Amino acid sequence: MRNENLWGQAVYVQFREEIDPFKDYQYFRPLNKAYNGNNTFWSLPSPEPDLSDDFWEAVRFLINNEAVKAAACGLAKAVSHWEPEGKNLVFAAILRAGVPIADWLCQLIPGAAAVSLSLFAGLGPDRVALESLRQNYPERKIIFVDGWTGRGGVSRELAKSGAGPLAVLIDPWGWADFSGTQEDIFCPSACFTGAATLGFSRTFYVDDQSLFAAFRFPRKYCREELVRTWHKNCPEPERFSEAAGFTRPAYFFKETSLRLHSNEVCRALINAAPEMIYFLHDAAYVREHYPLLLLLADRRNVKIIYNVRELERYRTRAACSLQET
């Protein structure tokens, strides 16, 4: 375990040797390797995209987003209603998407602490990390934090292991215990990569007795200004008192092979192999609300189809199909 990262959170991970994410390809699984229920899938990390300075500047510029800030305030209010005293809370930020959200929650709820750990489909949360967390914070209530939910996979994994509750920024299908919004809004932190904002690879499974592992990356690839910009753009703590009250929505689920919701589409463009991207709205709307997805799709030469009204049935504004081996 390393006791600090760019976010100031303790990281419950066993760190391996330093490798170059843009040269040492043999350490990563292929982009078109899709999870099929076999847990050996998690024994290799996903590869890292080498994104341009212009792309990262576009991400940094879009971090100051009122819809995202409003969702963060709503999430903080929901959590505070459950436990008003920040000193009684520790956020277990799920690597990677939960890390930036836990950063804001700690600013919005003074006294709360945050650490980072892993969770994978089929494996659940890193049990060794979770036991260490409980030992290190015996008096605090643990809340798992993620960026968003897609089809409720993280929620189901936590339920199977008897852990939780789960707090997410964006929850279109209503699977989280606490959320900031049920709208399919795009959060710029969905673009954050391990090389740019963490300094280490996606974690990977070793065995049931060990912390999940990660390869360290050279510090030169870190975009520290990106992390500072996110941290500085947290809404004022006083603002979340004005946020709308939280009402947990009814669960929703509809079977589909598509990757759903805009933030999940973003992750697919970063560490998977999208075949086609579908948007509910027209091109003008997408250019306004999802410019980063368009930049990533152009980089990967992924075809886009607009005005796919069928997406309304899935409560999503964006989806993609995946190439699979």
Candidates 285, 256, 199; CA nearest to 8 is 199
For the cut 80, the answer to whether the pLDDT of residue 120 exceeds it is yes
- Report the pLDDT value the prediction gives residue 291, as an integer from 0 to 100: 98
Would the pLDDT of 250 be above 90? no
pLDDT at residue number 242: 67
Range 286-300 burial, b when 16+ CB lie within 10 A, else e: beebbebbbbbbeeb
Indicate the DSSP class of residue 27: G
Domain formed by 10-242, architecture: 3-Layer(aba) Sandwich (3.40)
Contacts for 54 with CB less than 8 Å, ≥ 6 apart = none
Q: What is the pTM of this model?
A: 0.95
d(CA 212, CA 32): 23
* Residue pLDDT, tens place only, 280-314: 999 999 999 999 999 999 999 999 999 999 999 99
Q: State which CATH number among 3.30.1330.30, 3.30.70.980, 3.40.50.720, 1.10.1740.10 fits the domain covering 259-322.
A: 3.30.1330.30
Q: Residues 6 or more apart from 217 whose CB is under 8 A from it?
A: 18, 19, 20, 21, 48, 194, 195, 198, 199, 200, 201
Q: Does residue 99 register a pLDDT over 60?
A: yes
- Single-letter amino acid, residue 121: A
Instruction: Taking residues 70-93, report their average pLDDT.
Output: 96
Residue 185 near residue 263 (C-beta atoms within 8 A): no
Residue % of the chain over a pLDDT of 70? 95
Strand order across the 274-279 sheet: 259-260, 318-322, 274-279, 303-305
| pLDDT exceeds cutoff 90 at 4 | no
Instruction: Quote the pLDDT of residue 18.
Output: 98
Q: Which residues contact residue 255 at a Cβ distance below 8 angstroms, ignoring those fewer than 6 apart? A: none
Residue 272, φ and ψ in degrees, nearest 5: -140, -160
Preceding omega of 21 cis (within 30 degrees of 0): no
Distances from the Cα of 13 to the Cα of 122, 132, 261, 322, angstroms:
19, 11, 29, 29
What tens digit of pLDDT does each residue of 123-175 get? 999 999 999 999 999 999 999 999 999 888 899 999 998 898 999 999 999 99
Closest CA to 281 of 248, 316, 324, 321: 316
Overall average pLDDT of the 61-88 stretch: 96
Sorted by where each begins, the domain ranges of the chain are 10-242, 259-322
Query: What's the alpha-carbon Rg for the chain, to the nearest Å?
Result: 18
As a whole number of angstroms, the distance between CA 324 and CA 289 comes to 28
Q: 228-260 burial, b if ≥16 CB within 10 A, otherwise e?
A: ebbbebbbeeebbeebeebeeeeeeeeeeebbb
Average pLDDT over residues 107-123: 95
Q: What is the pLDDT of residue 36?
A: 76
As a whole number of Å, the end-to-end CA separation of the chain is 34
pLDDT at 272 over 70: yes
The C-alpha atoms of residue 164 and residue 175 are separated, in whole angstroms, by 12
Is residue 311 within 8 A of residue 265, CB to CB? The reply is no
Show Cβ contacts of residue 165 under 8 Å, excluding neighbours closer than 6 positions: 82, 143, 144, 158, 177, 178
Q: How confident is the model at residue 245 (pLDDT cuts 50, 70, 90)?
A: low
Average pLDDT, the chain: 93
Q: Is the pLDDT reported for residue 15 higher than 70?
A: yes
Is the model's pLDDT at 247 over the cut of 90? no
pLDDT score at 251: 85
Tens of pLDDT, residues 22-53: 999 999 999 888 787 787 889 999 999 999 99
Q: Kindly state the DSSP code that residue 63 receives in the 8-state scheme.
A: T
What share of residues in the chain are helix, strand, coil (percent, to 5)? Answer: 40, 20, 40
Question: Does residue 221 register a pLDDT over 90?
Answer: yes
pLDDT band, residue 241 (cuts 50/70/90) = low
> Residue 1 pLDDT more than 70?
no
What is the arithmetic mean of pLDDT over 8-18? 96
Smallest CA-to-CA distance from 239 within 92, 71, 17 is with 71
